[in-house]
Amino acid sequence: MVTGHLREKNGYFQIILTYKDMNSGKRQTKSISTGLPVKGNKKRAEAMLLKTRQEFNPETAMSDKNTLFADFLARWLKDAINKVDAETYARYSYDAKNSIVPYFQNIAVTVAEIKPGDIECYYQHERTENCKLNSTILQYHEAIKGALQYAIELELLRDNPADQVNPTSAQAQILFTDFLLEWLEMMKHSVEITTYAAYADCIKNRIIPYFEKKKIILKDVTPKHIQDYYQHELNEKGLSASTVIHRHANIRKALQHALKLGLIDYNPADRIERPKKGKFVGSTYDASELDSLFAVVKNKWIELAVILGSFYGLRRSEIVGLKWNAIDFEKKTLAIKHTVTEVTMDGKVVTIAKDSTKTKSSYRTLPLVAPFEELLHRHKAEQELNQKVCGKTYYKDYLDYIYVNEIGERIKPNYITQHFALVLKNNGMRKIRFHDLRHSCASLLYVNGVSLKEIQEWLGHSDISTTSNIYTHLDFSSKVASANAIIGVYPA
């Protein structure tokens, strides 16, 4: 049951509703501005109260907090028309529609989550990108502060974040860690979810825990602060240079955005010494080890993954994403065009299936060799048999996928990794990663005289330098041949 009454505040009537929260079962209150001055409007306010009580839905009561600040500004403007003079309202409306709303639509921050740093970044944006003077910034600040005060009246906020902002200050007093989080939130809407997940893990779980206790203001970040962090990760945590370089890429990109907004005068990440990345040396299986592996996985469910990884050099995401429509049995080809990956978002594992590959070059068509074609036909027959045996309990969502289990569920990428390790351990084989089958494929191609360009196309590398850097060190036989060529002149 929803009850309610009227309250007078600042010369206006407010509706106060009391209702039972559908999730917690506790009593909650919600205030709603009527926009009606107290004098001469009591009956109208009572009528609004009755209508509001009848239409109020407790299940959606909390949804206002998820309203984007840009959308909330429009709602505030509708209410403000009854509270301010025509000239002030016209200024609010013009500034909001032409300047404030377009900026915050890109930021996509909700009214309940907006922080002083978001507002400061906006003012800096107006100063640097649009050359706005302090007098104009003050106008924007007045409108933003008014909208957020309205959010307080609606009990969407407790405090007004605009009160903590000096609109005439050219320097944003925002913590480096807060800015990283704000930049991360912005990137959520600018990059693919897999990329965002990598950014989020790096920033939230790796970078921020180090910097948050130091309380460094964004504009005070120096190259030494960043260099010290890298040394800490290398020396104290024992991380590899490659991992630290990935951290550096995140920090530099965020600070580059701060530079663009005029929040800092230069990018301190550009003035540090990056650790030297070591040459990649992957673990690989030679031909005899692969023969042993093929014998071990013969007629087992993981056989398909091993063949695709070691012979075709497919990535795990490409293996799980392989569909029947990618196989052309007449032309004897298979197309790599769909991937399935897993990312961790806010502590939860999310599976992402998409009709795209890691890079444009990863989209490739490979020949369908006879042994693999035979394996596919056997796999197809098993799926059809399982579907008949399971009947209605068979999953119908993944009928177009090749790699499914006995009840039709699509195989998860991490499942392949974990069970490949168990297969090696249970059969006493040398430990390698599943991805090392891809390296084994490249190694064998190279040793058998296949050119780097052809290996690049087979594996779907976007740059031949990637192929060269990873795989050229694997061919030791050519060095042996060179040594034998000059052995004759070696002194006795």
157-171 pLDDT tens trace: 888 999 888 887 755
Tokens standing for residue 260: 């663009």
Q: What is the pLDDT of residues 102-160, one digit of tens each?
A: 999 887 788 888 988 889 889 888 888 888 877 788 889 989 999 999 888 887 888 89
Percent of the chain's residues with pLDDT above 70: 87
Question: Which pLDDT value is given to residue 41?
Answer: 86
- N-term to C-term CA, the chain: 103
**CB neighbour list of residue 244: distance below 8 Å, 6 or more residues apart:** 230, 233, 234, 274, 275
Whether residue 482 is predicted with pLDDT greater than 50 in this model: the reply is: no
320 pLDDT higher than 90: yes
Separation of alpha carbons 354 and 352, rounded Å: 6
- Indicate the pLDDT class of residue 465, thresholds 50, 70 and 90: low
Confidence of residue 395 (pLDDT cuts 50, 70, 90): very high
Residue pointed to by tokens 């965002």: 196
Antiparallel, parallel or unpaired: β 333-336 and 339-345: unpaired
pLDDT at 213 exceeding the cut of 60:
yes
For the packed helices 241-261 and 176-187, what is the interaxial angle rounded to 10 degrees? 90
* Predicted pLDDT of residue 124: 85
* Rounded Cα gap, residues 214 and 235, in angstroms: 19
Query: What amino acid is encoded at 287 in this protein?
Result: A
Cα distance between residue 296 and residue 311, in whole Å = 16
Q: Evaluate whether 171 touches 153 at the Cβ level (below 8 Å).
A: no
The predicted-structure confidence for 225-273, as pLDDT tens digits, reads as follows: 999 999 999 999 999 898 999 999 999 999 998 888 777 889 999 999 8
Contact residues for 413 (Cβ-Cβ < 8 A; gap 6+) = 316, 317, 320, 340, 341, 342
Q: Give the pLDDT band of residue 431 (cuts 50, 70, 90).
A: very high
Domain 176-271: give its CATH architecture. Orthogonal Bundle (1.10)
Q: What is the pLDDT of residue 332?
A: 92
Residue type, 41: N
Angle between helices 86-95 and 69-80 (to 10 degrees): 170
Q: Can you give the pLDDT at residue 428?
A: 95
Q: How confident is the model at residue 447 (pLDDT cuts 50, 70, 90)?
A: confident
What are the start and end residues of each CATH 1.10.150.130 domain in the chain? 176-271
pLDDT, average across residues 4-26: 74
- The segment(s) of the chain belonging to CATH 1.10.443.10 are 287-430
| Contact of 174 with 333, CB cutoff 8 Å | no
Would you call 411 helix, strand, or coil by DSSP? coil
Axis crossing angle, helix 86-95 with helix 134-153, rounded to the nearest 10:
100
Rounded Cα distance between 197 and 188, Å, is 9
Helix (H, G, I), strand (E, B) or coil at 349: strand
H-only helix segments in 327-411: 370-390
Class of the domain covering 287-430: mainly alpha
Q: Is 343 helix (H, G, I), strand (E, B) or coil?
A: strand
Asked whether the beta carbons of 420 and 307 are under 8 A apart, the reply is no
Cα–Cα–Cα angle for 114, 120, 122, nearest 5°? 85
Query: Where residue 293 falls among pLDDT bands split at 50, 70, 90?
Result: very high
Q: Name which residue leads in pLDDT, 34 or 478.
A: 34
Confidence of residue 62 (pLDDT cuts 50, 70, 90): very low
* Whether the Cβ atoms of residue 325 and residue 331 lie closer than 8 Å to each other: no
Strand order in the sheet with 3-9: 3-9, 12-20, 27-37
State mean pLDDT over 339-348: 83
The pTM for the full model equals: 0.59
Report pLDDT for 375.
Answer: 92
Predicted pLDDT at 63? 53
Instruction: Provide the CA 353 distance to its chain's centre, in angstroms.
Output: 14
Q: How many angstroms separate the CA atoms of 472 and 477, rounded?
A: 11
Average pLDDT score, the chain: 84
